[in-house]
Amino acid sequence: MTTTTTTRLSRATIAGYAAGSVGTGGFGTLPGLVLLVYLTDALAVPAAVAGLIVTGAKVWDVLIDPFIGYGSDRDLARTGSRRRFMTVGALALPVLFALTFAAPAGAGPTAAAIWVLVAFLLAATAFSLFQVPYIALPAELDATYDGRTRLLAWRVAALAFAILLFGAGGPALRGGGDSTTGYLVMGVVSGVVIGAGMLVASRVAPRRPRGEAAAPATPPPSTTASRAWALAVRESADALRRSRPFRTLLVAFFLQAVATGLMLAGAAYVARYVLQDEAAVSYLFAALIAPALLCMPLWTRLARRDGKERGFVVATVLFAVAALGMIPLLWVPGAWVYVPTALAGVAYAGMQALPLAMLPDVIAHDARTHGEGRGGAFSGVWTAGETTGMALGAAVLSLVLGVTGYVSTRADEVATQPAAAVDGIALAFSVVPAVLVLLSLVPLVRYGLRKGDIDDTAPELPRDHPARTDRSRD
């Protein structure tokens, strides 16, 4: 059952939960930042094929995340904790992440592409084993609207720190150029740090007496994998069908994930071909994340004063303005780009903290109206939507590169890119993300969930609940 205590969470619990964002931030940042350029500029994989590899691995997430969410809910019912799935993912990911960047140097483009695809699929699976139950935890750790805002604010602060750490530190570990050895060193070191953060967070998952968690009945041991997957898909579809706040929030966050995934994948190309400075990618991340860290408390205060959904709208509009402010990269690339990047960082803090704080509210509201124990179904769909959105961002960039004539190379080779490709990179970093985040406002206005729907002490019963039926007869 969902925690009902109103006591404040301990600092150790908040810090432990936030540590998980070191892992999620690392896994979300580095592949999005360097995997596409690793394929195109170190392994000579054509841009269109490289985009398919990155997207294909994320489509895999769409298939497995509902199943993992379903399994996490069942494991919670059996053992009283989501800890087991999280631990397995945390232990497996470092090895698989390193293998993603360990393609043999002498392999041809086709063999290298297959290597990266298989390794990244396995790494994505390990990540989902952790991430899906991790996202479901806030609704179980704190029962209050404001308490979850506080918990998620620290998590997003850790996420911003992780993005800065991996966004700036990853390229530094890789070294100059596109040496395959440099990518391998980056993969090994980063994989260990990612796994460590995830392992710490797995210890925070609450333990409860067996049988206390009110989840749907556990399938019998004879249930086949295909049957279990079908049940998982059905529960995910049910979550989408019955919860309008979840549908609207998910669509908005998905569109924003496409936008941020596009900018993340494009940062290395902007630094190399638009700004013509390899080190600029680290400066871009510093300009983005430093304001995000500083402004995080401001978004938390705004959420408490005006509501999370209103703060989310403000952050979204601000991010669109910042992205449009980068359009002059087409004509006058220069250090001025760090100013709109910093403004985007201010907005990015709100675009991460607020929807992630709204998700456990949606889960808690569904528990009040339809029964508890389905948090994994929601988090499975959410993770699938987020990772697919990020992957589509990279796919959009690869499509732009392919259409504009981008030239792929092997490590230590140099190619002069056509002007059309450079212009395409600049547009993909500015206009397209702005349009996407503005479109996300359309579903967001239908969210409709407020603090009173969450913190009302009188639980709302399902329509077919016996107690409600009895009342209707009085």
Average pLDDT over every residue of 72-93: 90
Confidence of residue 411 (pLDDT cuts 50, 70, 90): low
Average pLDDT over every residue of 127-156: 81
Among 9-23, 182-196, 381-395, the least confident range? 381-395
Confidence of residue 176 (pLDDT cuts 50, 70, 90): low
Contact 74, 213 (CB under 8 A): no
Ramachandran sector of residue 413 (left: φ over 0; alpha: ψ -120 to 50; beta: rest): beta
- Per-residue CA distances from 20 to 80, 89, 134, 334 (Å): 20, 12, 8, 36
Virtual torsion, Cα 29, 34, 37, 38, nearest 10 deg: -140
- pLDDT of 65 reads 80
Residue 466: is its pLDDT beyond 70? Answer: no
Output 97 or 449, whichever has higher pLDDT.
97
For the chain, the maximum distance between any two Cα atoms, rounded to a whole number of angstroms, is 81
Q: Count Cβ atoms below 10 Å from residue 224 Cβ, excluding itself.
A: 9
Contact 255, 439 (CB under 8 A): yes
pLDDT digits (tens, 9 = 90+) for 6-36: 457 788 888 999 999 899 889 988 887 888 8
- Residues 6 or more apart whose CB falls under 8 angstroms from that of 373 comprise 1, 73, 76, 77, 213, 214, 215, 216, 367
Among 13-27, 229-243, 247-261, the least confident range? 229-243
Q: What is the DSSP letter of 373?
A: S
Ramachandran sector of residue 448 (left: φ over 0; alpha: ψ -120 to 50; beta: rest): left
Average pLDDT over every residue of 79-100: 93
CA 163 to chain centre: 11
- Residues 6 or more apart whose CB falls under 8 angstroms from that of 437 comprise 255, 256, 259, 316, 319, 320, 323, 351
Q: What is the DSSP letter of 337?
A: G
CA 337 to chain centre: 25
Contact 409, 378 (CB under 8 A): no
Average pLDDT over every residue of 265-281: 88
Which superfamily is assigned to 11-207+235-461 in CATH?
A: MFS general substrate transporter like domains (1.20.1250.20)
- pLDDT of 453 reads 67
Q: Count Cβ atoms below 10 Å from residue 205 Cβ, excluding itself.
A: 24
- Residues 6 or more apart whose CB falls under 8 angstroms from that of 391 comprise 54, 55, 57, 58, 59, 61, 261
Q: How far apart are CA 211 and CA 452, in angstroms?
A: 30
Q: How far apart are CA 187 and CA 170, in angstroms?
A: 8
Output 64 or 228, whichever has higher pLDDT.
64
Look at residues 467, 311, 457 and name the one whose alpha carbon lies nearest to residue 4: 457
Residue 303: is its pLDDT beyond 50? Answer: yes
Average pLDDT over every residue of 193-213: 80
Q: What is the DSSP letter of 223?
A: -
Query: Mean pLDDT of all residues in the chain?
Result: 82
- pLDDT of 53 reads 86
- pLDDT of 454 reads 66
Residue 121: is its pLDDT beyond 50? Answer: yes
Bridge partner residues of 43 (DSSP)? 410
Listed ranges 6-10, 237-241, 347-351, 405-409; the one with the highest mean pLDDT: 347-351
> Using alpha carbons only, what angle is made at residue 94 by residues 92 and 96, rounded to the nearest 5 degrees?
70
Q: How far apart are the first and last CA of the chain?
A: 29
- Residues 6 or more apart whose CB falls under 8 angstroms from that of 266 comprise 397, 425, 428, 429
Residue 314: is its pLDDT beyond 50? Answer: yes
Residue showing tokens 């497996």 = 92
Listed ranges 37-51, 218-232, 302-316, 432-446; the one with the highest mean pLDDT: 432-446
Look at residues 261, 275, 287 and name the one whose alpha carbon lies nearest to residue 387: 261
- pLDDT of 461 reads 42
- pLDDT of 473 reads 35
- Position 398: which residue type? S
